[in-house]
Chains A and B, each alone.
Chain A
Amino acid sequence: MQPKASIAVLVLLLLHVTLAQPETSARPTPESLARPCLACHTPTDRKTIPLLFAKPERDFTKAMRQFRDDQRSASVMNRIARGYRDEDFGNMAKYFRNRDRSPR
């Protein structure tokens, strides 16, 4: 490929990435995503509502995908899971895996 042509391709690529950004890139942090969950999933009450702290990452993301895709039934989690993207599930999972009992 000629240098000029490759620069043109690069410019187009960059342009594409920039334009596509609002749809694909910036997402809330793991903390921002996880904190609203704690209004129900507190570290202390686990009789009815499951504890999420220290949950293995893979279990968490799998459960959230199943809720979202209606492969697993719940009282409210199906409705909630539909509000997030796959990468959000991964980020929430990271937050909970890394914390024992303290919300932060």
Chain B
Amino acid sequence: MTMDRRAFLKTLGAVSASFLPAIARAKSPMGQSKARIIVVGGGYGGATTAKYLKLIDPSLQVTLVHREWRYLSCPGSNEVIAELRTAGWLRRSYDTLARRHGVRLVRGDATHVDAQRGLVVLRDQTRLPFDRAVLSPGIGFRWDALEGYDEETSRLLPHAWQGATQVELLRKQLRAMRKGGTVIIVAPPNPYRCPPGPYERASLIAHYLKRHNPRAKLLILDPKTQFSKQALFLKGWEDLYPGMIEWIPSSKEGAVERVEPSRRVVHTEFGQHRADVLNVIPAQKAGVLAEIAGLTDDTGWCPVDPRSFTSSKIPGIHVIGDACIASPMPKSAFAANSQAKVCAAAVVELVNDRPPSLPSLINHCYSFLSPDYAISVTGVYEYSEKDRELAATSTGETPMDADRAREAKYARAWQRSFAIDVFG
């Protein structure tokens, strides 16, 4: 294809996607498909899917549905809570996806997915027809999992696990905390978004307190007995914040049983702790749309075929990112990005009646313990024919003797690159 022709088709694609009513799927003279793909959820998973669908097959009509015109990044939010960055730094725009890549943007709240008729329905009753739909609905919270902590309580005692308001609320509470006060983070049970996240948060809050409130303390009440990058975190806390962070696993105090919001007290099986700033990160499940659409199983998450991320429950619908079960991959933005690329390639094959090729995926998660001290965990994954699921072909963490400042330098470079790969 010549450049002129490609440019022409791209323009045509953008025009038809923007202004023409949905047309039936048809093969173009180029042999490429003009299938309509709706991507719901403009986080890292959804944005990557939309972009790579257009990169791989520019003739596709790709629509990205998101609640807002912008996205607030979850990776990096701990740095904002600790006042190392401002909230504006977390904002991601969809402009480049629309302008450079020809993705059609629809702002709306998807409330229903009708797989049989091929329709995504928005709250305002707009109906978006599709040949295949990709859902990247993120997480929902299990508000019934911990007595005393529900959605209403979270408006006073933030989870700060997603959303600008929540992140800002925790930052402000931290800033206003009395001298020598206690911050308590209640960590969530597995599985949840960003396994090292609560511990990175503890580290960066300690970094903030060390500078602004040095007699303050931080407790992590954990329903688990171990956590991601544990040895590296414990070593880092010893090096950077001696005596400041205490991790209390369930093996020590039993389960986290209930929260008394008015007194900011957390009761464990064998004890109770009073907080000045209380951050409860609730138990999680797939985002609400996945549940409504019937894509979840008994675990609350979405089973998929990891060769294409097609739902095991409903054919023609793909689920990627935190909402899907892609074990042994963790739930992270990096994993969602890798899954999105596998899904986009598979969608292009499937709409052309070809089988998807074998998947290859990476996860790589950095955690900052201070601005110049970072650690990471890595995994490479492929499909195991024997187990019919993903298998790790390599996993590893920052070596104990490695240079943490170098990791921090790479972590910052990754933040820049990743924003470009997904939204650029």
Q: A residues within 8 Å of B by Cβ?
A: 22, 26-29, 31-33, 35-42, 44-45, 47-49, 75-76, 78-84, 88, 102-104
28 contacts between A and B (CB under 8 A): A28-B357, A29-B358, A32-B341, A32-B357, A32-B359, A35-B338, A35-B360, A36-B360, A36-B361, A36-B362, A39-B364, A39-B414, A40-B364, A40-B413, A40-B417, A40-B418, A41-B417, A49-B410, A49-B417, A75-B406, A75-B407, A76-B378, A78-B396, A82-B393, A83-B393, A83-B394, A88-B360, A103-B55
Given contacts A38-B421, A39-B334, A80-B378, contact A104 B358 (CB under 8 A): no
**Smallest Cβ-Cβ distance to B340: which chain A residue:** A35
A27, A33, A76, A102 interface centre (most CB from chain B within 10 Å): A76
Contact at B420–A48, with CB atoms within 8 Å?
A: no
**Smallest Cβ-Cβ distance to B358: which chain A residue:** A28
A27-B358, A38-B421, A79-B394 given. 7 additional CB < 8 A pairs?
A: A35-B360, A42-B417, A45-B416, A49-B414, A79-B395, A83-B379, A84-B394
Q: Which residues of A contact B358 (CB under 8 A)?
A: 26-29, 32
Q: B residues within 8 Å of A by Cβ?
A: 52, 55-56, 334, 337-338, 341-342, 345, 357-362, 364, 376, 378-382, 385-386, 392-396, 402, 406-407, 409-410, 412-414, 416-418, 420-421, 424
Given contacts A79-B378, A83-B380, contact A39 B357 (CB under 8 A): no
Partner of A39, one of B362, B392, B410: B362
CA distance A42 to B337 in the complex (A): 13
CA distance A42 to B407 in the complex (A): 18
Contact at A39–B359, with CB atoms within 8 Å?
A: no
Q: Which residues of B contact A47 (CB under 8 A)?
A: 413
Given contacts A79-B394, A103-B55, contact A28 B338 (CB under 8 A): no
Q: Which residues of B contact A88 (CB under 8 A)?
A: 360
Contact at A28–B385, with CB atoms within 8 Å?
A: no
